[in-house]
């Protein structure tokens, strides 16, 4: 079966409309000073020329989701009962215009929520029913470093299809079985003739990124014996400027920590799961009032450790960072996580 | 720059800590720099990208520190002193007369977030080199909005001063014209404006944590479970609730440094709410934040009969 198609630029609107009939379609939209994934509506202005401000993580892993609803009742004998209402979610979701790093981010989350003895049904159900087409990146954006963590501007891991923007149109390559969904032969034509142009673009894009990164080319998982890691002064030296907000974690395609709360009214309520952030004081606050990570240094240390040490230890040396650079690009005080990891890997100053 | 480093050196000998700036991860980003060793002074800079209000760190420091402030930032220190959040003897202030800073978010949007590899500033124009091309902008088009209506380019409090005084011709009315214009819009328009803007919020609390006057931090009622003012859900009403709490807690305290708005990753114009409240503060109490150390913030005190609040009259 043909796996490579070509969509002429003028047909993109028609193509997206047709795609939106196959499931709930999410595209990057300019919402004013930010680009966000929103449900596609006819006339939505899709924004592919810059990296989305927020990754499409929330499409599959919403910032807050209802796990179930509950009601307190009494039966005829005045015995208290609790009625639980389950959430049904069988919607098919289609993401068009993610970036390769965004797709790679889902692979990191999959390990935790799906590749385990106790899969998370809510995430798994949505992930299995999602289709992702990533748009390859022509140029690096501020703070990008995907190649340093094993990704690349044309990397297709985690994506069902890879889209390359060429001058006259979009090359659409299906990378998985599910990727066939993006090959709408009524609107696209065979694309093999354009492959060469794509390869040129790929080379050029990788060269630009590699030049931009200079010596920051490769980040290895941190050795659990890294000495500076346990040195409080190291964190004080590098993270005094951190203001301990949750921006870096909420913009991160790989961060998956959550909180579960019961939001109650008098006789009814719902249990919701919402994103949490390890940068917040409350994240580790225990019922006793004790907090094992009471200051920002311990919290940042945990974030770096989780991504570059504990996670790789557990999941065959995979780094829980896809190099999208959002935490660097948007950090209010320009904390650079690459710099921190590099410093950790340097031999310790005496 | 020599003058800057000399001053930092001088202050460092006294405090052993100076909070200033150094170059960030690319040529259009500076980053706060905590000088704790003499060798770190060499990296300090001041340029158009030194956008941060460094005062944000002061109320939580447990040591004496030197600090660099622009005119606008210096009002924060005055507000801190009024509220007793810092002690004057614990800070050594290096003030900088400032001609304005660049709205880095706007610049990144202008170049479509392409990685920037170089900048050069020549008079009124700035050349920005990205990985794929070079573009030239007028500096004025990239100035932060707050700088266009700046009334205090020179620090109002300092121990050392760097730079020639800068004159401002901006009046109070000019500075609040945007708010008055916005208020002329019909209620429905204003509601839909805020519905769209607040709808973008992801509750990352960057606005709160970047705010030097938001001092509850880890005890913020937006996050506590008890009392349960806001839920964890990302519904619009919860987001509104948080932003209103933030704005109202800053009544008569916000010095309009604009850090909340600058920190917001999704570009919500949160400073507008605070400016609106400051406008009310001026009209009701004839009070302006962060101007005189001896002032009492209006919400820290009361009069039995307020001149402009008539509802208590029998």
Backbone φ and ψ of B261, nearest 5°: -70, -40
pLDDT confidence band for A79 (50 / 70 / 90): confident
- State whether B7 and B136 are in the same domain: no
**Rounded CA Rg of chain B:** 20
Share of chain B above pLDDT 90, in %: 88
For the stretch A28-57, pLDDT in tens is 999 999 999 999 998 888 999 999 999 999
Burial class (CB in 10 A: 0-12, 13-18, 19+), B164: exposed
How confident is the model at residue A266, as a pLDDT? 86
- State whether B168 and B124 are in the same domain: no
- State whether B68 and B211 are in the same domain: yes
- State whether B204 and B132 are in the same domain: no
Chain A residues whose CB is inside 8 A of the B218 CB are 281-282
How confident is the model at residue B306, as a pLDDT? 81
> Which of B25, B132, B209 has the CB atom closest to A243's CB atom?
B209
Q: Would residue B309 count as lying in a domain? A: no
Write b or e for each residue in A12-39: b if 16 or more Cβ atoms lie within 10 A of its Cβ, otherwise e. Answer: beebbeebbeebebbbbbbbebbbbbbe
CA A302 to chain centre: 19
How confident is the model at residue A349, as a pLDDT? 54
> Which of B25, B210, B223 has the CB atom closest to A243's CB atom?
B210
Q: Tell me the nearest-neighbour CA distance from B6 into chain A, angstroms.
A: 22
ipTM of this predicted structure: 0.95
Q: Would residue B269 count as lying in a domain? A: yes
Pairing relationship of beta strands A268-275 and A258-264 according to DSSP bridges: antiparallel
How confident is the model at residue B64, as a pLDDT? 97
What distances in angstroms separate CA A7 from CA A14, A24, A29, A135, B280, one per listed residue? 10, 21, 20, 13, 56
- State whether B114 and B180 are in the same domain: no
For the stretch B59-118, pLDDT in tens is 999 899 999 999 999 999 999 999 999 999 999 999 999 999 999 999 999 999 999 999
Residue appearing with tokens 């008539």: B310
Q: Tell me the nearest-neighbour CA distance from A210 into chain B, angstroms.
A: 11
Residue appearing with tokens 């990754």: A55
H-helix or E-strand spanning residue A66 = strand A64-74
Tell whether B197 lies on the interface with A, counting CB pairs under 8 A: yes
How confident is the model at residue B49, as a pLDDT? 98
CB contact under 8 A, A51 and B24: no
Pairing relationship of beta strands B18-23 and A24-30 according to DSSP bridges: unpaired
Last residue of a domain, one of B91, B118, B142: B142
How confident is the model at residue B154, as a pLDDT? 98
CB contact under 8 A, A274 and B232: yes
Q: Tell me the nearest-neighbour CA distance from A274 into chain B, angstroms.
A: 6
Last residue of a domain, one of B89, B117, B142: B142
Q: Which domain holds residue B265?
A: 2-103+143-300
How confident is the model at residue B307, as a pLDDT? 83
> Which of A36, A142, A338 has the CB atom closest to B113's CB atom?
A142
Tell whether B52 lies on the interface with A, counting CB pairs under 8 A: yes
User: What average pLDDT does chain B have?
Assistant: 95
CB contact under 8 A, A49 and B217: no
Is the pLDDT at B225 greater than 80? The verdict is no
- State whether B171 and B234 are in the same domain: yes
- State whether B90 and B174 are in the same domain: yes
> Which of B25, B131, B205 has the CB atom closest to A336's CB atom?
B25
DSSP B33-59: EEE-SGGGGGGEE-STT----GGGGGG
Q: Tell me the nearest-neighbour CA distance from B240 into chain A, angstroms.
A: 16
Q: Would residue B312 count as lying in a domain? A: no
Is the pLDDT at A177 greater than 90? The verdict is yes
Between CA A202 and CA B292 the distance in angstroms is: 59
How confident is the model at residue B305, as a pLDDT? 79
For the stretch A50-61, pLDDT in tens is 999 999 999 999
pLDDT confidence band for B277 (50 / 70 / 90): very high
H-helix or E-strand spanning residue A203 = helix A195-213
What distances in angstroms separate CA A42 from CA A39, A47, A132, A346, B199, one per listed residue? 10, 14, 20, 52, 21
- Farthest-apart Cα atoms in chain B, separation: 71
How confident is the model at residue B312, as a pLDDT? 62
Quick one: tokens of A32? 């004013």
- State whether B263 and B132 are in the same domain: no
Ranges of H-type helices in B43-102: 71-83
- State whether B92 and B150 are in the same domain: yes
How confident is the model at residue A102, as a pLDDT? 98
pLDDT confidence band for B229 (50 / 70 / 90): confident
Q: HEC profile for B234-270?
A: CCHHHHHHHHHHHHHHCCCCCCCCCHHHHHCCCCCCC
* Portion 242-271 of B in contact with A at CB < 8 A: 259, 262-263, 265-267
Between CA A65 and CA B186 the distance in angstroms is: 35
Q: From the candidates A245, A264, A276, A324, which should be mutated to test the interface with B, based on the most B CB atoms within 10 A?
A: A245
- State whether B73 and B181 are in the same domain: yes
Q: How many domains does chain B have?
A: 2
Between CA B203 and CA B210 the distance in angstroms is: 13
Q: Would residue B205 count as lying in a domain? A: yes
What distances in angstroms separate CA B265 from CA A68, A332, B204, B268, one per listed residue? 31, 8, 9, 8
Tell whether B195 lies on the interface with A, counting CB pairs under 8 A: no
CB contact under 8 A, A334 and B234: no
pTM for this entry: 0.95
User: What average pLDDT does chain A have?
Assistant: 94
CB contact under 8 A, B204 and A246: yes
How confident is the model at residue A348, as a pLDDT? 63
Given a contact cutoff of 8 angstroms between Cβ atoms, the answer to whether A182 and A174 are in contact is yes
Q: Would residue B276 count as lying in a domain? A: yes
- State whether B166 and B19 are in the same domain: yes
Last residue of a domain, one of B85, B112, B142: B142
CB contact under 8 A, B115 and A49: no
pLDDT confidence band for A1 (50 / 70 / 90): low
How confident is the model at residue A77, as a pLDDT? 85
Residue appearing with tokens 């913020």: B220
Between CA A143 and CA A335 the distance in angstroms is: 11
For the stretch A300-329, pLDDT in tens is 999 999 999 999 999 999 999 999 999 999
- Residues 6 or more apart whose CB falls under 8 angstroms from that of A132 comprise A56, A94, A95, A98, A103, A106, A158, A159, A160, A161
DSSP B139-165: HHHHB-HHHHT-S--S-SS-SEEES--
Between CA A47 and CA A40 the distance in angstroms is: 12
Residue appearing with tokens 């004839």: B286
Between CA B37 and CA B16 the distance in angstroms is: 7
Tell whether B237 lies on the interface with A, counting CB pairs under 8 A: no
For the stretch B148-198, pLDDT in tens is 999 999 999 999 999 999 999 999 999 999 999 999 999 999 999 999 999
Nearest residue in B to A295, CA atom:
B218
Is the pLDDT at B314 greater than 60? The verdict is no
- Cα atoms in the 13 Å half-sphere on the side-chain side of A201: 20
Q: Tell me the nearest-neighbour CA distance from A2 into chain B, angstroms.
A: 34
Tell whether B217 lies on the interface with A, counting CB pairs under 8 A: yes
Chain B residues whose CB is inside 8 A of the A140 CB are 114-115, 131
Between CA B60 and CA B211 the distance in angstroms is: 13
Between CA A20 and CA A12 the distance in angstroms is: 12
Q: Would residue B85 count as lying in a domain? A: yes
- State whether B176 and B263 are in the same domain: yes
pLDDT confidence band for B304 (50 / 70 / 90): confident
């Amino acid at each position: 079966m043909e796996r490579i198609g070509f969509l002429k630029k003028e047909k993109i609107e028609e193509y997206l409309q047709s795609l939106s009939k196959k499931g709930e379609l999410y595209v990057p939209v300019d919402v004013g000073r930010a680009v966000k994934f929103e449900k596609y509506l006819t006339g939505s202005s899709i924004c592919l020329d810059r990296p989305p401000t927020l990754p499409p993580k929330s499409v599959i892993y919403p910032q807050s989701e209802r796990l179930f609803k509950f009601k307190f009742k009494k039966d005829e004998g005045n015995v208290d009962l609790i009625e639980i209402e389950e959430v049904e979610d069988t919607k098919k979701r289609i993401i068009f215009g993610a970036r390769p790093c965004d797709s790679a981010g889902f692979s990191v989350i999959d390990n935790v929520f799906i590749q385990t003895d106790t899969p998370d049904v809510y995430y798994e159900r949505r992930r299995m029913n999602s289709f992702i087409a990533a748009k390859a990146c022509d140029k690096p954006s501020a703070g990008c470093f995907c190649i340093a963590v094993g990704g690349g501007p044309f990397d297709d891991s985690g994506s069902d299809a890879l889209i390359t923007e060429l001058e006259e149109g979009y090359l659409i390559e299906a990378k998985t079985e599910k990727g066939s969904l993006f090959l709408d032969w009524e609107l696209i034509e065979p694309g093999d003739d354009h492959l060469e142009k794509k390869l040129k673009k790929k080379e050029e894009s990788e060269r630009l990124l590699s030049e931009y990164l200079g010596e920051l080319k490769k980040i290895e998982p941190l050795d659990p014996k890294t000495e500076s890691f346990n040195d409080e002064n190291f964190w004080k030296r590098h993270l005094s400027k951190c203001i301990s907000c949750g921006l870096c974690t909420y913009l991160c395609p790989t961060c998956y920590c959550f909180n579960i709360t019961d939001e109650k009214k008098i006789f009814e309520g719902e249990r919701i799961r919402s994103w949490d952030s390890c940068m917040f004081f409350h994240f580790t606050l225990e019922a006793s009032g004790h907090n094992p990570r009471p200051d920002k240094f311990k919290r940042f240390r945990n974030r770096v450790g989780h991504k570059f040490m504990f996670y790789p230890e557990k999941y065959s040396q995979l780094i829980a960072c896809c190099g999208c650079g959002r935490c660097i690009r948007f950090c209010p005080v320009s904390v650079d996580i690459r710099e921190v990891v590099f410093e950790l890997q340097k031999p310790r100053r005496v | 720059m020599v003058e800057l480093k000399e001053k930092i050196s001088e202050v460092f000998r006294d405090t052993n800590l100076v909070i200033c700036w150094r170059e960030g991860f690319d040529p259009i980003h500076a980053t706060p720099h905590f000088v704790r060793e003499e060798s770190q002074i060499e990296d300090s800079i001041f340029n158009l990208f030194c956008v941060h209000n460094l005062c944000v760190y002061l109320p939580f420091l447990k040591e004496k520190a030197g600090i660099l402030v622009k005119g606008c930032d210096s009002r924060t220190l005055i507000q801190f002193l009024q509220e007793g959040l810092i002690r004057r003897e614990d800070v050594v202030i290096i003030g900088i007369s400032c001609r304005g800073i660049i709205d880095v978010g706007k610049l990144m949007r202008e170049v479509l977030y392409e990685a920037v590899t170089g900048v050069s500033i020549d008079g009124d124009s700035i050349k920005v080199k990205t990985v794929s091309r070079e573009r030239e902008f007028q500096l004025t088009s990239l100035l932060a909005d707050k700088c266009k209506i700046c009334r205090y380019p020179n620090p109002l409090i300092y121990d050392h001063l760097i730079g020639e005084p800068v004159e401002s011709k901006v009046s109070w009315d000019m500075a609040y014209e945007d708010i008055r214009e916005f208020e002329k819009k019909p209620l429905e328009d204003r509601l839909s404006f805020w519905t769209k803007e607040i709808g973008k919020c992801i509750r990352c609390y960057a606005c709160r944590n970047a705010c030097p006057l938001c001092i509850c931090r880890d005890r913020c009622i937006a996050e506590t479970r008890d009392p349960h003012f806001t839920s964890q859900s990302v519904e619009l009403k919860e987001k509104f609730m948080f932003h209103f709490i933030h704005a109202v807690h800053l009544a008569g305290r916000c010095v309009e440094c604009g850090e909340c708005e600058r920190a917001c990753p999704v570009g919500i114009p949160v400073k507008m709410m605070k400016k609106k409240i400051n406008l009310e503060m001026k009209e009701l109490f004839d009070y302006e934040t962060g101007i005189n150390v001896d002032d009492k913030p209006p919400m820290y005190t009361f009069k039995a009969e307020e001149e402009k609040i008539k509802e208590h009259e029998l």
